[in-house]
Structure 1
Amino acid sequence: MARGAAFFDLDRTLLAGASGELFSEAIHRAGLSTGPLPGEKFLYGLFHRIGETLPAMAIARQGVTAAKGRSSAAVREAAETVVEQLVALVQPFARTAFTTHRDAGRPIVLATTTPYDLVKPLADALGFDDAVATRYAVDSEGNYDGTLDGPFVWSAGKLAAVTAWAEDHDVDLAESWAYSDSFYDTPMLDAVGHPVVVNPDPRMVLMAAARRWPTANLDVSPGVVKIPVVGLEVQDVARRLTHPAMYPYARFDIGAVDSIPDTGPCILVGNHRSYFDVVAMSLVIAKAGRSARFLGKKEVFDAPIVGQAAAAMGGIRVDRATGSNEPLRAAADALDGGEMVALMPQGTIPRGAAFFDPELRGRWGAARLAQMTGAPVIPVGLWGTERVWPRSKRVPNVFNLTDPPVVRVRVGQPVGLKGRSLAADTKRIMTAIAGELPPEARESHTPTRDELLATFPPGYSGDPEQEVARRPGED
């Protein structure tokens, strides 16, 4: 059976921006050039924002002439000095794509216009199997002679170079993947069986739509939708519109949001009292100025419109009936990429007497995620959401505008976990969440029949006083 490979473009695809400026600085520092070309910085800035342009590529074509007489070894040594900076620019979820292809037995190959001697140290550092790049011919002394050794690896030239590499390595392009942002890489994308458009430039947005090519963004979790060209997540836009004033039928008392780290992985965990909890958590996340990947029950993702929106914002679908570890793996990947994951360890809203129990019990998912990734767990205490939207109602009470109930939210410090026992760490997490609730939450309360009925779904016809069993608090 023929095997495929995975070809990755470099600038604005694999990297968050352009590599040219760093390579140029390295060449200047090494004394291999007289200094920046006129307008060089402007062109790099333009490339970073909108991608490849014909003027930039025209200048790049002249690079082989400008390099005449330089030592190829010295150029590679100069390139090695910026490898660490370039690795820092690699999109956080590129490594997930690398792993997927490696696990499938496909070689991963860097495919870029940038000269081979500049990109080879980076390709080696990232574990690429090879690099398809523009090669400058060298003379007997190892100096560039001012000519190309093969095609200028851009547009049709990149396709020619990739095709030649595939033939030399017994790779079938029909079984291969290619990733690029650039309209000018259309020939390469069109030649493979699995084209993937990444962070598309304006023209590639139209091309991808016309060819029905899938679009991915390696700076966010798989499946997250971003608005082309401007690069904003759907959740970014929603967060900018999320404000307590949107919910005049509730008042919000939100505190200690600065306990959420500004950057880096973290696991946000809250208790579950109402369908309105999601709104309260969203307001917390909006105040923190970050995006989050919510773990939610499959019913949410199966719902029309709401499900598509949840998926577009990077929600992670959980179907507990399957017993699959896939949702946890997806959440762990998001955390490994530096994102925030939000979940409610109780898994569902407690019913009946369990709703009023001051002791919170949770499932093991958050503790397992923390153990898998080392990400800090941040507790969030939610109180009063059930007064806005009790479980017994199909919709919130949006007409309570004169005396809306108060929703109290408190964010705590990271939970001290031991990492030895999932059960013990889960108990620590739930205790920390309970500690962020008001004093009355930790007092025993004998509910009335009406209070019990409010904890059951609409249409419930049983006897709530006979249903005293707690929802299971373990996996």
Structure 2
Amino acid sequence: MSHAAFFDLDRTLLSGASAHVVSRVLRETGVVNRSIPGESLLYQVFETFGENLPSMVLGRQAVLAMKGHSRDVVRAAAHTAAPDLVAMLQPYATKVFEEHRANGLKVVLATTTPRDLIEPFAQLLGFDDVIATTYAVDADGNYTGELDGVYVWSRGKRDAVKAWANANGIDLAGSFAYSDSVFDEPLLTSVGNPVCVNPDWRLRLMAAARRWPVTHFDVPAGVAKIPVVGLEAQQALMKFARPEVFPYARFTITGTENIPKDSAAIICGNHRSYFDIAAISLAVAKTGRAVRFLGKKEVFDAPVIGPLATALGGIRVERGTGSDEPLQAATESLMAGDLVAIMPQGTIPRGPAFFDPVLKGRWGAARLAAETKAPVIPVGIWGTEKVWPRNAKLPNITNLTSPPHVIITVGTPVHLSYTDPDADTRLIMDAISALLPPEGREYREPTEDELRRSYPSNYKGDPDSEEDRRPGLD
């Protein structure tokens, strides 16, 4: 037998309530002439806390409100609403559809929303079928005020899915169901692979008790979100990413207005210290946004820190393998409208290369920009190596009386050709260099102590070869 993936609509696939859009379009097209008293408040409660009995009572009454209306007129209004509903689709939902289709599963929308109002939306997204509440029509094509079949909610949704599965030769034991609502517990328990998406607090408790997976379609897989509040864990932490949290450093941060407030961008900084991540985080925190950092695999493999890096939205990079997976993950994040941070140098330069004023980068950022057309925002970082030198296991948090000065300067987008990754990489590195203080753009002979601090504590390589460490194709 075949298998299928069943998707709930509101707060699962969509960022909010579809009824909010549908109701507006029905009024604009003259199908109805006024809103229901308290309608907006109910939508706000629904979008914040999830499905509730008052909203379902309102939904049940809708069939009576549509009595006498032409089905064709309503479907025409639904076609008008469909693009607005598609715009509400969570950015990572499409990837889940594609994965299921690649595995041979049918992708089915299972929703309480009336079929005639939601079918055009489902057609735009290429769903294989729709299981939805259906309003009965008379011989003239007008709604009768009654249902044709069950009200597709809670147990009714489960029964409708089972009936559809039986009619289409679908084995539910090998199928998937996705929902945000505790009222979909009957559906979730009827399939072999239940998945809780953006769950309300009751479903989250149920998921914990039953060990059901929890995910969100507005963030990459594995990224943690705070229950009920709906904030990413990183966004919550970013609220504490303030200079006062780091009393062992003084900060000058400028140019953060160049970071887009609500669209994709590639943040590119020079790499001087492990503290650079904190420096970029401080700059991005001023926008209130989360950022996806590309990081070496050793971070993600480490106990405790590894799962935390994933939960905070990090993208794993296995250096030296030539794998395109990190760039693919970064591309998905950018296409979803996220910020992605990358250090084009790939690693902190060592020895004499650390003091070279000519910054040398790898092609990853340029390739990302060419693929996504997301703007590249250069960031010049200076002084972080005095907070956390390369030869230290931890930052120097005891220097409270004369903390080093860290300068973070965010520049305007770099204009690229998108045709030559090597030339574009040079443009990116030149833009970063231009944001550094004058001493960062001039060569000087380092002291023995400065050289020592630029190497890892366990360094065993050849210092004379460090300037050549640049595999340009990744």
When the two structures are superposed, what TM-score results if normalisation uses the length of structure 2? 0.96
Residues 48-94 of structure 1, C-alpha deviations (whole Å, 9 max, x = no match): 22122122212322332332222111111122222222222111222
Instruction: Supply the distance in 1 between the matched residues of 2:219 and 2:80 (Cα, whole angstroms).
Output: 28
Instruction: Supply the distance in 2 between the matched residues of 1:403 and 1:27 (Cα, whole angstroms).
Output: 65
Q: 2:470 is matched with which residue?
A: 472
Q: 1:441 is matched with which residue?
A: 440
- For residue 408 of structure 1, give the secondary structure of its aligned residue in structure 2: strand
RMSD of aligned Cα (Å): 1.7
Q: What number of residue pairs does the alignment pair up?
A: 473
- For residue 154 of structure 1, give the secondary structure of its aligned residue in structure 2: coil
**1:255 CA displacement:** 1.2
CA contact (8 A) 2:195 2:215 kept: yes
CA contact (8 A) 2:241 2:285 kept: yes
**1:204 CA displacement:** 0.9
Q: 2:125 is matched with which residue?
A: 126
Instruction: Supply the distance in 1 between the matched residues of 2:63 and 2:462 (Cα, whole angstroms).
Output: 83
Residues 69-120 of structure 1, C-alpha deviations (whole Å, 9 max, x = no match): 2211111112222222222211122222222222223222111001100111
Consecutive aligned runs of 4 or more in structure 1 exceeding 3 Å deviation: 28-34, 459-464, 466-470
Q: 1:240 is matched with which residue?
A: 239
Instruction: Supply the distance in 2 between the matched residues of 1:322 and 1:470 (Cα, whole angstroms).
Output: 18
Identity of paired residues, percent? 56
| Equivalence map 1:88-127=2 (5 Å) | 88-127=87-126
Give 1:5's aligned amino acid.
A
Instruction: Supply the distance in 1 between the matched residues of 2:254 and 2:432 (Cα, whole angstroms).
Output: 14
Instruction: Supply the distance in 2 between the matched residues of 1:186 and 1:363 (Cα, whole angstroms).
Output: 49
Q: 1:218 is matched with which residue?
A: 217
Instruction: Supply the distance in 2 between the matched residues of 1:251 and 1:43 (Cα, whole angstroms).
Output: 48
CA contact (8 A) 1:354 1:471 kept: no
CA contact (8 A) 1:335 1:373 kept: yes
Distance 1:116 1:468, change over 3 A: closer
CA contact (8 A) 2:331 2:372 kept: yes
When the two structures are superposed, what TM-score results if normalisation uses the length of structure 1? 0.96
- For residue 407 of structure 1, give the secondary structure of its aligned residue in structure 2: strand
Residues 274-321 of structure 1, C-alpha deviations (whole Å, 9 max, x = no match): 111111111111123211000000111122222222111110011124
CA contact (8 A) 1:197 1:214 kept: yes
**1:461 CA displacement:** 6.5
Q: 2:50 is matched with which residue?
A: 51
Q: 1:328 is matched with which residue?
A: 327
Instruction: Supply the distance in 2 between the matched residues of 1:468 and 1:341 (Cα, whole angstroms).
Output: 27
**1:245 CA displacement:** 0.9
Instruction: Supply the distance in 1 between the matched residues of 2:55 and 2:287 (Cα, whole angstroms).
Output: 39
Instruction: Supply the distance in 1 between the matched residues of 2:145 and 2:70 (Cα, whole angstroms).
Output: 12
Residues 193-232 of structure 1, C-alpha deviations (whole Å, 9 max, x = no match): 2221111112111111111111111112222110111101
Q: 1:203 is matched with which residue?
A: 202
- For residue 12 of structure 1, give the secondary structure of its aligned residue in structure 2: coil
| Equivalence map 1:164-203=2 (5 Å) | 164-203=163-202
Instruction: Supply the distance in 1 between the matched residues of 2:357 and 2:43 (Cα, whole angstroms).
Output: 59
**1:170 CA displacement:** 2.2
Instruction: Supply the distance in 2 between the matched residues of 1:282 and 1:268 (Cα, whole angstroms).
Output: 11
Instruction: Supply the distance in 2 between the matched residues of 1:462 and 1:149 (Cα, whole angstroms).
Output: 75
Q: 1:28 is matched with which residue?
A: 27
Instruction: Supply the distance in 1 between the matched residues of 2:185 and 2:51 (Cα, whole angstroms).
Output: 13
**1:3 CA displacement:** 2.7
Gapped regions of structure 2 (runs ≥ 5): none
- For residue 82 of structure 1, give the secondary structure of its aligned residue in structure 2: helix
CA contact (8 A) 1:300 1:307 kept: yes
Moved more, 352-361 or 454-463: 454-463
Q: 1:294 is matched with which residue?
A: 293
Instruction: Supply the distance in 2 between the matched residues of 1:157 and 1:66 (Cα, whole angstroms).
Output: 21
Gapped regions of structure 1 (runs ≥ 5): none
Instruction: Supply the distance in 2 between the matched residues of 1:419 and 1:456 (Cα, whole angstroms).
Output: 35
| Equivalence map 1:260-339=2 (5 Å) | 260-339=259-338
Moved more, 179-188 or 66-75: 66-75
CA contact (8 A) 1:353 1:467 kept: no
CA contact (8 A) 1:47 1:53 kept: yes
Instruction: Supply the distance in 1 between the matched residues of 2:415 and 2:20 (Cα, whole angstroms).
Output: 43
**1:468 CA displacement:** 5.0
- For residue 239 of structure 2, give the secondary structure of its aligned residue in structure 1: helix
Instruction: Supply the distance in 2 between the matched residues of 1:352 and 1:401 (Cα, whole angstroms).
Output: 28
Instruction: Supply the distance in 2 between the matched residues of 1:21 and 1:443 (Cα, whole angstroms).
Output: 59
Instruction: Supply the distance in 1 between the matched residues of 2:461 and 2:25 (Cα, whole angstroms).
Output: 74
| Equivalence map 1:422-461=2 (5 Å) | 422-460=421-459
Q: 1:41 is matched with which residue?
A: 40
**1:34 CA displacement:** 5.1
Moved more, 275-284 or 160-169: 160-169
CA contact (8 A) 1:361 1:473 kept: no
Give 2:251's aligned amino acid.
F
Instruction: Supply the distance in 2 between the matched residues of 1:366 and 1:177 (Cα, whole angstroms).
Output: 37
Are residues 1:408 and 2:438 paired? no
